[in-house]
Amino acid sequence: MEELEDVKQFLPTTADVSDLRFEASDIVIYTDSKDFFLDNSETVKKMVSELKKRVEVRPSSKLFKSPETAEDIINDTIDDKAGVEEVIFQPSLGKVIIRAENPGNVIGNRGSGLEEIKEKTLWSPQVERVPSINSKIVDRARELTVEDPEFRKQFLHDVGEKIRLDKSVGEEWIRLASLGACRQVGRSCFLLQTEESNVMFDCGINPSAEPGSTENFPYLNAPELNLQDLDAVVLSHAHMDHAGMIPYLYKMGYDGPLYCTKPTRDMMIMQTLDYISISHKENQSAPYDSSDIKKAVKRTITPEYGEVTDITPDMRLTMRNAGHILGSALCHIHVGEGLHNILYTGDYNYDSSEMLRPADTNFQRVETMVTEATYGGNNDEQQPREKAQKKFLSKMKQTLNKGGKVVVPVFAIGRSQEILGMLADEIGRDYFDYPVYIDGMIKDANAMHTAYPEYLSEKVQKKIMKDDDSPFLKENLHSIGSYNEREEAIEGGPCVILSTSGMVTGGPIMEYLKYLAPEEKNSLIFVGYQAEGTLGRKIQNGAER
Ligand SMILES: [Zn+2]
């Protein structure tokens, strides 16, 4: 490829390059030279400014110390306070991943810790935060992300080659097709096409459709969609109405890249694994199995917010904070050289919330915006946040004071953490001395939040870093993991119960309703959207039985 030839021109003869590779939009140089590995900043700087690509230098297998020796060195070098839990070597990529409770103690002052590890071991170190809450499903998700580095190396190189193919000189046109979500809440899915590229935004399920109905999934049989021609899938966030059918694309033969943020990737794994297990529990067949989720994860590329990434010969993606849930992104696509700019928002939030910073709306150019309008109906009126919070707290207090239980149906990701954040501020006030139970995947979603505090608002970030102040580790917060524990909550005294599913379509919330709804002193409080056709909506509309 031409670009790799260009790279060679920048390299000093002493660079001793053993391999030159694309890693999707980026370029990776593998070197046999210790000196070049440890000191290449001038060369790299020049390349980045001329080639407009991110460039990384990594050691070849000739260079790095054996994993056994390197692990000893790493353990000796890093402060105990770092709480290193796992060290994973990826020889084919020259990378070592250090998983620690306190990444800051590994990174050191201005990266000095990492520099030291690099010098002593001759590996490229990378740090990941271990969540401060144990969750098997988070562990499983994390395991999947580091599987099969050899495959990944080849895959990312192939993606890189495809991105750099010459653009055809056809007519310039852009076409956007809706394969779901329009005039309906759920099954978000859009197809963006040019002469050159086919890119999909989101691929979700419809939570309000009856099982087995044709309205469950997007129109993946639309004539304009051919999975073999699909170049990339961009995922805005991990909610099931946007992410639920991503593994299905891989089952049906798509084998290209999936672009999303790191938390979105991990939470998509979590949510879709849960979807499979719930389907089985309810004696329904899931549209895919865990091997399809694995296929998707092995092909996932995770840009940071604000990072500009080429995804096809004529499309450039930039993701920005959407303020909706952990890792959610507004997806901006620049088409051609200044031809057109499209913003696909997914779900977003302009306000700062308990957990997140408000959506980042500073785009240089946008000619077309495709936006969510879930609350955009004629009769939809969203209350100001403060007013809604006050209402929630006063209803909660009232119920607890008269000895009742408060049941709150919530999505595992997003609204549940918002409510927990709000309750954490109440705990410690004298009236609030009741247990708060969380059921369903909420605990796992909480764990995910503690793995990626950098995606949260400054305020929560600080609280999470100090475990004793984390809204997810309050004394009276109990996670329900078994049937017996659920029974205890149901039969015990006044309490608050947060449980999935958010629209009362299944999951543990059904148990709570069954046992707690008949008692007048208990309350059911809705804090999220209830789509047409869901049991939640029927109750809101006054159904009595
Ligand atoms: Zn959402």
Ligand 1 geometric centre to CA of 183 (Å): 16
Question: Any idea which residue has 């001793």 for tokens?
Answer: 16
Q: Are residues 119 and 259 in the same domain?
A: no
Q: DSSP 3-state helix, strand, coil percentages of the chain (rounded to 5)?
A: 40, 20, 40
Q: Which domain holds residue 528?
A: 385-540
Q: Are residues 395 and 366 in the same domain?
A: no
Ligand 1 geometric centre to CA of 312 (Å): 26
Ligand 1 geometric centre to CA of 317 (Å): 20
Q: Would you say residue 378 lies in a domain? A: no
Last residue of a domain, one of 346, 370, 394: 370
Ligand 1 geometric centre to CA of 369 (Å): 17
| pLDDT bucket at 382, cuts 50 / 70 / 90 | confident
Q: What is the pLDDT of residue 467?
A: 64
Q: Are residues 190 and 116 in the same domain?
A: no
Q: Are residues 441 and 335 in the same domain?
A: no
Ligand 1 geometric centre to CA of 44 (Å): 39
Ligand 1 geometric centre to CA of 447 (Å): 19
Asked whether the predicted pLDDT for residue 493 surpasses 80, the reply is yes
Ligand 1 geometric centre to CA of 239 (Å): 5
Ligand 1 geometric centre to CA of 237 (Å): 7
Q: What is the pTM of this model?
A: 0.94
CATH code of the domain in which 108 resides: 3.30.300.20
Q: Would you say residue 287 lies in a domain? A: yes
Q: What is the pLDDT of residue 507?
A: 86
Ligand 1 geometric centre to CA of 326 (Å): 10
Instruction: Encode pLDDT of 113-153 as tens digits.
Output: 999 999 999 999 999 999 989 888 888 888 999 999 999 99
Q: Which of the residue ranges 7-11, 165-169, 326-330 would you say has the lowest mean pLDDT?
A: 165-169
Q: Would you say residue 139 lies in a domain? A: no
Q: Which of the residue ranges 3-12, 83-92, 194-203 would you say has the lowest mean pLDDT?
A: 3-12
Ligand 1 geometric centre to CA of 82 (Å): 34
Ligand 1 geometric centre to CA of 47 (Å): 39
Ligand 1 geometric centre to CA of 243 (Å): 9
Q: Would you say residue 15 lies in a domain? A: yes
Q: Which of the residue ranges 197-211, 261-275, 373-387 would you say has the lowest mean pLDDT?
A: 373-387
The DSSP letter of residue 429 is B
Ligand 1 geometric centre to CA of 408 (Å): 18
Q: Which of the residue ranges 51-65, 258-272, 307-321, 529-543 would you say has the lowest mean pLDDT?
A: 529-543
- 8 Å CB contact between 241 and 186: yes
Ligand 1 geometric centre to CA of 162 (Å): 31
Q: Would you say residue 483 lies in a domain? A: yes
Ligand 1 geometric centre to CA of 238 (Å): 7
CATH code of the domain in which 523 resides: 3.40.50.10890
Last residue of a domain, one of 370, 403, 418: 370
Q: What is the pLDDT of residue 67?
A: 97
Last residue of a domain, one of 11, 36, 59: 59
Ligand 1 geometric centre to CA of 500 (Å): 15
Q: Would you say residue 125 lies in a domain? A: yes
C-alpha 124/C-alpha 132 separation (Å) is 25
Q: What is the pLDDT of residue 464?
A: 87
Ligand 1 geometric centre to CA of 414 (Å): 8
What is the sign, positive or negative, of the torsion defined by CA atoms of 81, 82, 86, 90?
negative
Q: What is the pLDDT of residue 519?
A: 94
Ligand 1 geometric centre to CA of 191 (Å): 19
Instruction: Encode pLDDT of 495-508 as tens digits.
Output: 999 999 899 988 89
Q: What is the pLDDT of residue 278?
A: 84
The fraction of the chain above a pLDDT of 70, given in percent, is 99
Q: What is the pLDDT of residue 59?
A: 97
C-alpha 524/C-alpha 540 separation (Å) is 10
Q: What is the mean pLDDT of residues 261-278?
A: 93
Q: Would you say residue 168 lies in a domain? A: no
Q: What is the pLDDT of residue 284?
A: 84
CATH code of the domain in which 47 resides: 3.30.300.230
Q: What is the mean pLDDT of residues 259-268?
A: 96
C-alpha 328/C-alpha 127 separation (Å) is 22
Ligand 1 geometric centre to CA of 328 (Å): 8
Q: Are residues 275 and 361 in the same domain?
A: yes
Element (DSSP H or E) covering residue 479:
strand 477-479
Mean pLDDT of the chain: 93
Q: What is the pLDDT of residue 336?
A: 92
Q: Which two tokens stand for residue 191?
A: 């197809």
Q: Are residues 300 and 186 in the same domain?
A: yes
CB burial of 36-61 (b: ≥16 within 10 Å; e: otherwise) equals: bbeebeebbeebeeeeebbbbbbbbe
C-alpha 507/C-alpha 147 separation (Å) is 31
| pLDDT bucket at 410, cuts 50 / 70 / 90 | very high
Q: Are residues 197 and 307 in the same domain?
A: yes
Ligand 1 geometric centre to CA of 429 (Å): 32
Ligand 1 geometric centre to CA of 345 (Å): 11
- Between these two residues, 467 and 404, which has the higher pLDDT value? 404
Q: Are residues 256 and 114 in the same domain?
A: no
Asked whether the predicted pLDDT for residue 198 surpasses 90, the reply is yes
C-alpha 41/C-alpha 57 separation (Å) is 9
Q: Are residues 339 and 467 in the same domain?
A: no
Q: What is the mean pLDDT of residues 159-188?
A: 89
Ligand 1 geometric centre to CA of 77 (Å): 42
Count the domains in the chain. 4
| pLDDT bucket at 5, cuts 50 / 70 / 90 | confident
Q: Are residues 184 and 252 in the same domain?
A: yes
Q: Would you say residue 380 lies in a domain? A: no
Q: What is the mean pLDDT of residues 70-97?
A: 95
Instruction: Encode pLDDT of 223-245 as tens digits.
Output: 999 999 999 999 999 999 999 99
Q: What is the mean pLDDT of residues 368-386?
A: 83
Asked whether the predicted pLDDT for residue 1 surpasses 70, the reply is no
Ligand 1 geometric centre to CA of 469 (Å): 27
Q: Which two tokens stand for residue 71?
A: 């692990």
Q: Are residues 278 and 366 in the same domain?
A: yes
Ligand 1 geometric centre to CA of 462 (Å): 25
Ligand 1 geometric centre to CA of 347 (Å): 5
Q: Are residues 71 and 183 in the same domain?
A: no
Ligand 1 geometric centre to CA of 180 (Å): 15
- 8 Å CB contact between 294 and 147: yes
Ligand 1 geometric centre to CA of 529 (Å): 10
